[in-house]
Every structure is written in structure tokens, then in C-alpha cells.
Structure 1
């Protein structure tokens, strides 16, 4: 099953929250698993949209308690890693959709680009030539689906031939 990561700010306005919900709904409708940071803002909006469409949601939490997860997270993964948990989100997702965001989102984008992971940008950090920018949540989901690896197993985790892969 394909895993799509959504990254974005922990606090956002209503318009951005609704964009995130639409992205989450689209991910679930395409039978993909959502992975995100599991907290509020964009993370809550995308998880809510996915849950309302019957999807599976995974939250990679920065703290020490599963209770920190927003109510739309099915599987809270407690890391105790703070912002370092961003690496787990990026490594796990086959493709990332960045919605809005602040410096935490910027760090996730940088990690993804360093690892040659595809990043789709919706109202996020501008001027990165490797980000595939879109204008609507529907475009974001369709672009993500179109670039998913055909067999989402080892290739999804950034494995290269000859290297160690989990």
C-alpha cells in the first residue's frame, strides 16, 4: 500500500485547514495511507479529511505521549525525538505534499529534497526548483498519485541498488 506524507504548520488558518482536509480526503479515496506529524493545524486537517473518507492515518509524534496526537490519528508513533522526527516522516513516505508551513516544514522539505523524494507544494515555501508546485488540493493529490512508485515496497524508502534497505 502506498504511503503519502503531508507536511505543514502545527497552527493554520481556516482556509489552510480546509485545503488540508481536501488533500487528506483525496489520499484516502485513492486507498493510500496518510503519514504526518500527528499534531494540530495542517496535520489535524489532513488527518481529519482522510478519516472522514475512511482512510488510515499515522502520526509520527515529537513527544513522549500518544495522547498528544490529534483525534484523527489511527496509529500514533511516539518518538521523543522533537523535530528530528521529521526524518522519519520523510523516510517513510513515498511522496510528500507540503501545505503552507513554517520552519519545521522547511526542514522536512530540505530533508526530502536531499533524499531525492518527490515534493509537491501547495501554498508553501516558494522558489525551490525541485518542488512541483500546484494550485489546488486536488492537483496535489493527483500529482502525488501520478508519481508514486509502481511497487511501493523497498523503492519507497529511498533504497538504492547495492545499499542497505530495511
Structure 2
């Protein structure tokens, strides 16, 4: 079975985050991974478009009771009617998580993944620092490029 990699990020993102997410999606699809995301706008739409541009399978996990607001590049939509609790469904379904950019919802997905022991890498997103500005032990590595983020996720998926 192919790796399932969740890509998490804000629905309101920067142009750089969108470009990074698009490239992450494309690279994951080229590697044969199934791309999971929240199925909405912003980072979610960009990663979906990137994956679909490379012929990838893209699954969106929506928080509401309808798939009508899902982005158009999804291969399939899971409607949960769970609100933010859908973040747990997304993370529990992933073999690895790539965080692109940052929002409070994205931070919750990162925390859920770390708590579950799912490999996580951050690209232009959250950094966990202690009071002295040093990385918190076991905090997610920071990727410099989409290529680095995808390589980490695929290497550590399921570990």
C-alpha cells in the first residue's frame, strides 16, 4: 500500500506557502504517495492542485456536513461533520505529516501527530523553541525546501 502523507497548513496562506505546498503535492504524487489534507482553500488547495498536476491521488477530510465547499482538485472527499475534531481523523490516517506555514489549526495537527508518534516535518511553519530560543527536544525538523520536506516524510513514513 502506498504511503499516505498528510499536508497541513492554513486556509489563508502566503504566496510562498502556496508555492511550497503545490511543489510538495507534485513531488508526493510523483513518488506514488497518497496525499491527505483538509480539502479546503489555501495550503490545502495548493497541495491538492500540485498532486493532481502529477496524476496523484488526493483525499480531503472536510470538517463540515457537506462536500460542496471542498477544493476542486480532490480525488475524493470525506465529510466528517466533526469541525476541528476532523484534524484527528486526518493525522490518524497519515504515515507522515508535512506542515506548510502556520495557523492555530495547523498547530493542533502538528501536536496531534507528535502525540501519536507520526513523523512530522515543518516547511515555513511552526518551530518549537524553549524560553532561551533553543529547539524543544523532539520538535519537528525544519525543512529548507519542498524537496527536503518530501524526502523526510517519505523516508520516515510509518516509523
1:1-166 pair list within 5 angstroms: 1-127=2-128, 128=136, 129-149=138-158
TM-score, length of structure 1 as denominator length: 0.87
What is the match of residue 163 of structure 1?
none
Unaligned runs of 5+ in 2: 129-135
Per-residue deviation at 1:4? 0.4
Match of 2:132 in 1: none
Runs ≥4 residues deviating over 6 A: none
Aligned residue-pair number: 150
CA shift for structure 1 position 32: 0.5
Secondary structure of the equivalent of 1:38?
coil
User: The residue matched to 1:121 in structure 2 has which SS?
Assistant: strand
Aligned-residue CA RMSD (Å) = 1.1
- Paired with 2:74 and 2:10, the residues of 1 have a C-alpha distance of 16
Q: Which runs of 5+ in 1 are unaligned?
A: 150-154, 156-166
Q: How many angstroms apart in 2 are the aligned matches of 1:10 and 1:3?
A: 21
